Amino acid sequence: MTGQTTIDKAGPDDGPPAAPSGAAPGKGLRGHPWFTLVTVAVGVMMVALDGTIVAIANPAIASDLGATFAEVQWITNAYFLALAVSLITAGKLGDRFGHRQTFLIGVVGFAVASGAIGLSHSIGLVIAFRVLQGLFGALLMPAALGLLRATFPAEKLNMAIGIWGMVIGASTAGGPILGGVLVEHVNWQSVFFINVPVGILAVALGVWILLDHRAENAPRSFDVLGIALLSAAMFCLVWALIKAPEWGWGSLGTWSFVIGSLVLFGLFALWETRVGEPLIPLALFRSVPLSAGVVLMVLMAIAFMGGLFFVTFYLQNVHGMSPVDAGLHLLPLTGMMIVGSPLAGVLITKVGPRIPLAGGMACTAAAMYGMSTLEKGTGSGVMSLWFALLGLGLAPVMVGATEVIVGNAPLELSGVAGGLQQAAMQVGGSLGTAVLGAVMASKVDRDLEGNWAEAGLPPLTPEQAGKASEAVQVGVPPVTEGTPAQIAAKITDVAHDTFLSGMSLASLVAAGVAAVAILVAFLTKRGVNAEAGAGVGHI
């Protein structure tokens, strides 16, 4: 293949890290590795926080702007779709023009789009600016990893990625808490306005601290057709996952987009073997560890995002907690990710990624199994145990899989590798939510009618049964206004029991996915292309 980079596949998992080499470090604070880490962490925090904080604001947005349920769904879907489709292309832009530039553009654009959402007076504008948020977020995330990859020497990269993962984990898990406080005590606009001062801080630090690193053999042209094919393929795949719960997994619409995505991915792969400077050199995937890291990231996101999706409904709708209280109950998960991520970086540096990754997925599998046993009367102590175990399992996987992907790619493709890592996590999260949502829906549909009749409740018409099933899938009892208290109590019991049976099955499926990921973890090894290290002199 003309113009493609040869991927080094040599090197034992537990051998010493490759010695760094690269450009000389910048003078003073510019290019300093740890200050670079702080800078990119501030920017990444905005994007990670936005992934969960907005969900808390959606009901207030719907009420204030008169939005329908479908329109509110698109507040999340539009952002996710733009982000997932653009990540790999955005990473390539960083490889081509420099990660410092793309990071700063991403931060500025994300902050401006956030401020524009807060000033919007129609749901259409909110959705449109959410698309822009996703596009600029896609520029920012791979650039952050590219900067870390180019700045830190091999022996420090795992620690840096550990702290980076800690920021993402803490921001993602802390989103509901912060969002609940802002919506309850300020307004929904403040959820978006908060990104403006954070963005200003990130830009100020970026202009002062960040040093642009460009590999000697960085790409000098664009694979326009490759970008178009990959973007279309990702769009079809993500669109199918988003619409499957509405259309049905067996529907013609869902499978049309799934098959369309597979055809487009095939055409993309064929084209990449023919173009001189491809968007993603397919030789990249000859690295078994890198490919395993991508698969591992997808499986981890399926188990984590898919399983955790129902926990928020469990806490709020079964236990009756407020969004803030629900977020506080998830603090053991957040805390273990904050503590565990940098420790995982140290451990992976010492022993290689295989054992920590396999151990992390084992903990994740055990935690998801534990969540399958949650009941209406489960106390906070037991819940905290399983949440903490989940955080303990996720920390080494977030750090290790990221290092395996980015560290096994050559420096000139670090942006593409960062885009692959983020795209894998986004697609895995969407796939987990969609597939485990289908498992939940199927279980609820099977059990609800029998549980309803067993409780001696009046039979439902097909239309009523459909609406009741939709409510029960998120733990909400389908109690209509004016229902006698005794009947309402029975309906609530049936709804919660049925929801818990569905959540239990979904959690068991997530545990099975995590168990498969244990085997994939043994195919990984530490990065063998860590030839960067511009900041060695500062460390």
Residue boundaries of the structural domains of the chain? 33-221+277-443+503-538, 222-276
For the stretch 388-432, pLDDT in tens is: 999 888 888 888 888 788 777 776 676 777 777 878 887 887 778
Distance CA 431, CA 54 (A): 20
- 471 touches 448 (CB < 8 A): no
- 55 touches 79 (CB < 8 A): no
Query: What CATH number should be reported for the domain whose range is 33-221+277-443+503-538?
Result: 1.20.1250.20
Distance CA 29, CA 538 (A): 9
For the stretch 501-538, pLDDT in tens is: 999 999 999 999 999 999 999 988 876 654 443 333 33
Give residue 5's pLDDT.
38
Burial class of residue 492, CB neighbours in 10 A (0-12, 13-18, 19+): middle
Residues 6+ apart with CB under 8 A from 301: 424, 425, 426, 427, 428, 429, 431, 432
- Centre a 10 Å sphere on the Cβ of residue 473 and count the other Cβ atoms it contains: 23
Rg from Cα positions in the chain: 23
pTM assigned to the model: 0.76
- The one-digit pLDDT tens for each residue of the chain (539 residues) are 334 333 333 344 444 333 333 334 445 678 788 888 889 888 888 888 877 777 777 777 877 888 776 677 778 778 878 887 888 888 888 777 788 888 999 999 999 999 999 998 888 899 899 999 989 988 888 888 888 877 887 677 777 877 877 787 777 767 777 877 888 788 888 889 989 999 999 999 989 888 876 655 555 667 788 888 888 888 888 888 778 777 877 888 888 999 998 999 899 889 888 877 777 777 777 778 888 888 898 898 888 776 677 887 888 888 888 767 877 888 888 788 888 888 888 888 888 888 999 999 999 999 999 999 999 888 888 999 999 999 888 888 888 888 788 777 776 676 777 777 878 887 887 778 778 878 888 888 888 888 888 888 888 888 888 888 888 887 888 888 778 888 888 888 988 999 999 999 999 999 999 999 999 999 888 766 544 433 333 33
What is the per-residue DSSP string for 410-456?
-GGGHHHHHHHHHHHHHHHHHHHHHHHHHHHHHHHHHHHHHHHHHTT
Distance CA 142, CA 77 (A): 21
Distance CA 396, CA 521 (A): 11
Task: Return the ∠ at Cα 77 (arms to 72 and 80), rounded to 5°.
Answer: 140
Single out the residue of 161, 201, 212 nearest to residue 37, CA to CA: 161
Distance CA 117, CA 50 (A): 12
What is the per-residue DSSP string for 220-271?
-S--HHHHHHHHHHHHHHHHHHHHHHHH-TTSHHHHHHHHHHHHHHHHHHHH
